[in-house]
């Protein structure tokens, strides 16, 4: 953090402490809601959801080669492979809308077509494995699934549309070959790596398994009762895998990568939860912003509500995972499920700083088209999801 930024941050805190009327009942209630929401996250989501997800993200960063992902964007790569890899690359790279920019600039200027490159540009921040898991945990598995499926579909459709609209420019652009370093032999088979990842995913699934609703099938109650025994068994299996299949250096790199994600994201997530709780409150509890304002702007499932959510999400900057507590507060204040999904699909992949940088890389015309495609697709997806949810 630059010294100027630190100074500005200190000044803002001082002004808030000096001028905010903390004795006002509404401000007091909003402050209480902020810390109640933070406690809710700490008790219900950190140990059983976020910690396993951090370890999965760390493992992906260490054991899945980014070079093996990026090599499919070269001019000689098959189109089917290019779009397939681009559409799921976010689950491997786990980056935000700003971190993805240098990766996008590198593959685009070194010869990737506009289609696969923009599919990757959208997918990178949109299919963040941590964000998908937290969305499903807090906003419901239906929203998490809709976000994951929508992001993959959006990446492919966006890339195909960009390739179609700018096919002449793309054909005339000089293409090169992306340099990809040789991959080292890890001494493990692909099946071993897959089983290792699957075991960690199962640990996350069973550790975060919520209490089933009354009247649900008896099988779900049996799983809930036995979830800690299953989780313990899976952890033993995971330990055996680590001991027999991985070197000490690889295990240390995994832990360090996990810690890197945690120290980067936890402070941002904590700040995001506090701000969301202060401004919007928890579901069923009012805070600083009156609920009728939210219901007027993004309540229901109208075209306006979905379009407003899409455009707002496209211009706002969300630090990784902070969109989830913000949406939790908005939904609790009356936001419709359709507009919520529209914001989830447009927000993490775009932001005003992101747009400015993209414009410098591929030009204003292509950037405006890219942003317009995402806003339109997010609006349509939000309306469709709102109809289904209703």
What's the CA gap between 349 and 345, in Å, rounded? Answer: 7
CB burial string 326-354: b at 16+ within 10 A, e below: bbbbbbbbbbbbbbbbbbbbbbbbbbeeb
Q: How do the pLDDT tens digits run along the chain, 390 residues long?
A: 568 777 888 898 899 888 888 888 888 888 888 888 788 778 877 777 778 877 877 776 677 665 665 666 655 567 777 788 777 766 655 555 555 666 677 667 666 678 888 888 888 777 777 778 788 888 888 998 999 899 889 989 998 999 888 887 766 654 445 455 555 556 777 788 878 888 887 887 787 776 665 655 577 778 888 888 998 999 999 999 888 888 888 889 888 888 887 887 677 767 777 877 787 777 667 778 777 777 788 888 889 999 999 988 887 766 666 778 888 888 887 888 999 999 989 887 787 767 877 888 788 899 999 999 999 999 999 999 999 987
Of 118, 80, 36, 129, nearest in space to 325 by CA: 36
What's the CA gap between 233 and 72, in Å, rounded? Answer: 38
Calculate the alpha carbon distances from 80 to 119, 126, 248, 319 in Å: 12, 20, 38, 32
Q: In the prediction, which pLDDT does 289 show?
A: 76
Q: What's the DSSP call for residue 23?
A: T
Under DSSP, is residue 152 helix (H, G, I), strand (E, B) or coil?
Answer: helix
Find the helix or strand (DSSP H, E) in which 210 lies.
none
What's the CA gap between 385 and 141, in Å, rounded? Answer: 13
Say what the pTM is. Answer: 0.65
Q: In the prediction, which pLDDT does 68 show?
A: 60
Quickly count: other Cβ atoms within 10 Å of residue 97's Cβ: 25
Find out whether 304 and 311 touch, Cβ atoms under 8 Å: no
Long-range Cβ contacts of 353-360 (<8 Å, 24+ apart): 353/98, 353/317, 354/97, 354/98, 354/101, 354/317, 357/98, 357/101, 358/101, 358/104, 358/121
What's the CA gap between 346 and 342, in Å, rounded? Answer: 6
Calculate the alpha carbon distances from 113 to 48, 72, 162, 171, 258 in Å: 41, 11, 10, 9, 33
Of 109, 105, 128, 120, nearest in space to 72 by CA: 120
Backbone angles phi, psi at 98, to 5 degrees: -95, -35
Q: What's the DSSP call for residue 246?
A: S
Under DSSP, is residue 283 helix (H, G, I), strand (E, B) or coil?
Answer: coil
Q: In the prediction, which pLDDT does 261 show?
A: 74
User: SS in 3 state form for 85-111?
Assistant: HHHHCHHHHCCCCCCHHHHHHHHHHCC
What's the CA gap between 334 and 299, in Å, rounded? Answer: 6
Stated length of the chain: 390
């Amino acid at each position: 953090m630059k010294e100027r930024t630190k100074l500005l941050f200190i000044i803002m805190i001082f002004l808030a402490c000096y001028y905010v009327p903390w004795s006002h009942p509404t401000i007091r209630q909003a402050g209480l809601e902020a810390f109640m929401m933070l406690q809710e996250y700490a008790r219900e989501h950190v140990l059983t959801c976020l910690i396993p997800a951090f370890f999965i993200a760390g493992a992906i960063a260490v054991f899945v080669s980014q070079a093996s992902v990026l090599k499919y964007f070269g001019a000689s790569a098959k189109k089917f492979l290019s779009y397939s890899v681009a559409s799921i690359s976010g689950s491997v790279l786990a980056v935000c809308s700003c971190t993805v920019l240098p990766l996008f600039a590198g593959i685009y200027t070194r010869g990737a077509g506009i289609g696969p490159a923009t599919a990757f540009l959208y997918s990178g921040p949109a299919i963040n494995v941590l964000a998908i898991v937290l969305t499903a945990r807090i906003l419901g598995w239906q929203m998490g699934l809709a976000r994951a499926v929508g992001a993959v579909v959006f990446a492919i459709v966006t890339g195909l549309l960009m390739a179609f609209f700018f096919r002449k420019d793309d054909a005339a652009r000089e293409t090169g070959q992306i340099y990809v370093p040789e991959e080292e032999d890890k001494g493990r088979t692909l099946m071993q790596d897959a089983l290792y990842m699957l075991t960690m995913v199962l640990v996350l699934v069973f550790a975060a398994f919520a209490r089933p609703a009354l009247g649900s099938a008896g099988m779900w109650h049996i799983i809930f009762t036995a979830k800690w025994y299953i989780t313990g068994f899976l952890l033993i299996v995971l330990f055996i895998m680590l001991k027999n299949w991985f070197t000490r250096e690889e295990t240390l790199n995994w832990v360090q990568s996990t810690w890197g994600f945690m120290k980067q994201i936890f402070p941002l997530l904590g700040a995001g939860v506090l701000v969301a709780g202060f401004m919007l409150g928890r579901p069923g509890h009012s805070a600083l912003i009156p609920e009728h304002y939210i219901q007027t702007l993004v309540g229901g499932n109208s075209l306006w509500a979905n379009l407003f959510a899409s455009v707002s999400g496209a211009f706002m900057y969300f630090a990784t995972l902070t969109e989830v507590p913000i949406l939790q507060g908005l939904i609790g204040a009356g936001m419709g499920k359709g507009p919520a999904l529209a914001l989830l699909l447009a927000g993490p992949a775009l932001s005003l700083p992101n747009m400015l940088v993209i414009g410098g890389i591929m030009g204003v015309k292509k950037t405006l088209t890219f942003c317009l495609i995402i806003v339109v697709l997010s609006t349509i997806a939000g309306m469709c999801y709102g109809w289904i949810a209703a």
